[in-house]
């Protein structure tokens, strides 16, 4: 039986980072108790819906924001409400995102005791000047200490998040960060090329000429180096930006990429039931007010068209190392991938960006770096065919 994923958004932060475009709020930690009570109301309302009653959840993910601003007792309170309302698999993956500057060894041990079995540490860099430019609150030593404390607390499944191709960053310094990360032996590493999101403080600074981003060819060199380094050290790339030791792939993220149902709780959280995608209001006050009135805090929804399902199957499949299963695609949509996209895949193969391995269509090394551009081309072709 297919299983679902449960996401719980914790929007609170001590300070908003210059590159972040997620919904977060800073300086209002006093609202955390109200938020927890409101989350419990949303859990009860969603659990009463027949679709979510029928689901078995295989993963829980506390994201943000900074979920580690909540105490272990507060996390336990949310988990208790979820466990008493939904059905869960026995082998449950429960992830908590944590900022190294907000945790202690005792706190981590208590998170482990209340049911968190996977930790995701937002490190980003192990150089003080790079952390400062990203507006991160922790130091390199705090990041290292967080990993050591996690081990001492009994965590056997830890992810470390990093960013590369930062302004002024050199390949040598990025190599130093990866070498330090490898020495700490996390089971999973997420390594993201810095993306300049519209409207963020980083975007504004770049537009004003205050910060100079790296050139595309430099970013490509960083990415290829990252893949080589991590795979050489035992971390297999299973998605464009995610690397894991065998058996430690993020089960929660794979649910998103495989098209499984997922339920998002909290301000700004998104959900998908296989037919409809819907999302909560990205405003703390409005979120609290809606549920105070016993109303679900939905801000909008969309019924996925066949065109959207086709494109997302292609996009999410290509992002994964295993690629798009061409037989499954043809069975699901009653036409081949090549027919659907009118030969664009063959053009991409000839250009060295895609390759066929058995019955799978996969990105090549060059294709990985331009994945978004390839998918945009596929989407444009899909649109042109649908208009004919």
Q: Taking residues 329-355, what's their average pLDDT?
A: 93
For the chain, the farthest-separated pair of C-alpha atoms sits apart, in whole angstroms, at 63
32-50 pLDDT tens trace: 999 999 999 999 999 999 9
Taking the C-alpha atoms of residue 20 and residue 122, their distance in angstroms, rounded to an integer, is 12
Is the preceding omega at residue 108 within 30 degrees of 0, hence cis?
A: no
Q: Cα–Cα distances in Å, from 61 out to 252, 281, 305?
A: 7, 19, 28
Q: Taking residues 9-34, what's their average pLDDT?
A: 89
93-143 pLDDT tens trace: 999 999 998 999 999 999 999 999 999 999 999 999 999 988 888 999 999
DSSP string, 318-337: HHBTT-EEHHHHHHHHSS-H
Q: What are the residues facing 237 on neighbouring strands?
A: 243
Selection from 330, 324, 386 nearest residue 355 by Cα? 324
Taking the C-alpha atoms of residue 311 and residue 143, their distance in angstroms, rounded to an integer, is 39
Q: Phi and psi (nearest 5°) for 343?
A: 85, 0
Beta strand 276-280 pairing with 270-272: antiparallel
The pTM for the full model equals: 0.94
Q: Cα–Cα distances in Å, from 147 out to 137, 204, 223?
A: 16, 33, 24
CA of residue 179 relative to chain centroid, distance:
23
DSSP string, 274-306: SSEEEEE-S-HHHHHHHHHTT---EEEEEEPPH
Angle at 98 between CA 95 and CA 100, to 5 degrees: 145
Instruction: Say whether 263 sits in a helix, a strand or coil.
Output: strand
DSSP 215: P
Residue ranges of domains in the chain, CATH in brackets: 4-256 (3.80.30.20), 306-387 (1.10.10.920)
| pLDDT the model gives residue 386 | 55
Taking the C-alpha atoms of residue 128 and residue 141, their distance in angstroms, rounded to an integer, is 9
Q: Evaluate whether 165 touches 193 at the Cβ level (below 8 Å).
A: yes
Instruction: Say whether 124 sits in a helix, a strand or coil.
Output: strand
Banded pLDDT at 213 (limits 50, 70, 90): confident
284-339 pLDDT tens trace: 999 999 999 999 999 999 999 999 999 999 999 999 999 999 999 999 999 999 99
Q: Evaluate whether 189 touches 162 at the Cβ level (below 8 Å).
A: yes
Taking the C-alpha atoms of residue 84 and residue 101, their distance in angstroms, rounded to an integer, is 32
């Amino acid at each position: 039986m297919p299983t679902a994923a449960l996401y719980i958004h914790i929007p609170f932060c001590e300070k908003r980072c210059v590159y972040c475009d997620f919904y977060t709020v800073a300086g209002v930690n006093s609202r955390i108790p109200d938020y927890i009570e409101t989350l419990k109301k949303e859990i009860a309302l969603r659990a009463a819906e027949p679709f979510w009653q029928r689901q078995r959840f295989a993963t829980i993910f506390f994201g943000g924001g900074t979920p580690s601003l909540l105490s272990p007792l507060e996390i336990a309170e949310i988990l208790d409400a979820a466990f008493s309302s939904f059905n869960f698999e026995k082998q449950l993956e429960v992830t908590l995102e944590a900022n190294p500057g907000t945790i202690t060894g005792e706190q981590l041990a208590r998170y482990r005791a209340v049911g968190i079995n996977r930790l995701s540490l937002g490190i980003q860099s192990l150089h003080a000047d790079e952390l400062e430019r990203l507006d991160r609150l922790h130091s390199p030593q705090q990041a290292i200490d967080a990993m050591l404390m996690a081990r001492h607390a009994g965590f056997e499944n830890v992810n470390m998040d990093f960013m590369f191709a930062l302004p002024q960053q050199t390949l040598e310094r990025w190599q130093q960060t990866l070498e330090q990360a490898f020495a700490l032996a996390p089971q999973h590493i997420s390594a993201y090329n810095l993306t300049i999101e519209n409207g963020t403080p980083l975007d504004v600074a770049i537009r004003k000429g205050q910060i100079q981003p790296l050139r595309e060819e430099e970013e490509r060199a960083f990415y290829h180096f990252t893949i080589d380094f991590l795979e050489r050290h035992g971390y297999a790339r299973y998605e464009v930006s995610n690397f894991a030791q065998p058996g430690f792939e993020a089960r929660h993220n794979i649910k998103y990429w495989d098209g499984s149902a997922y339920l998002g709780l909290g301000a700004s959280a998104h959900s998908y039931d296989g037919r409809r995608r819907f999302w909560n209001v990205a405003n703390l006050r409005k979120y609290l007010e809606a549920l105070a009135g016993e109303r679900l805090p939905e801000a909008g929804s969309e019924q996925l068209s066949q065109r959207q399902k086709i494109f997302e199957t292609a996009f999410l499949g290509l992002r994964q190392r295993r690629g798009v299963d061409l037989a499954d695609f043809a069975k699901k949509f009653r036409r081949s991938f090549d027919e659907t996209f009118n030969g664009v895949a063959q053009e991409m193969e000839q250009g060295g960006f895609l390759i066929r391995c058995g019955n799978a269509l996969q990105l090549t090394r060059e294709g990985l770096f331009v994945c978004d551009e390839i998918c945009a081309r596929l989407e444009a072709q899909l649109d042109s065919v649908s208009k004919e």
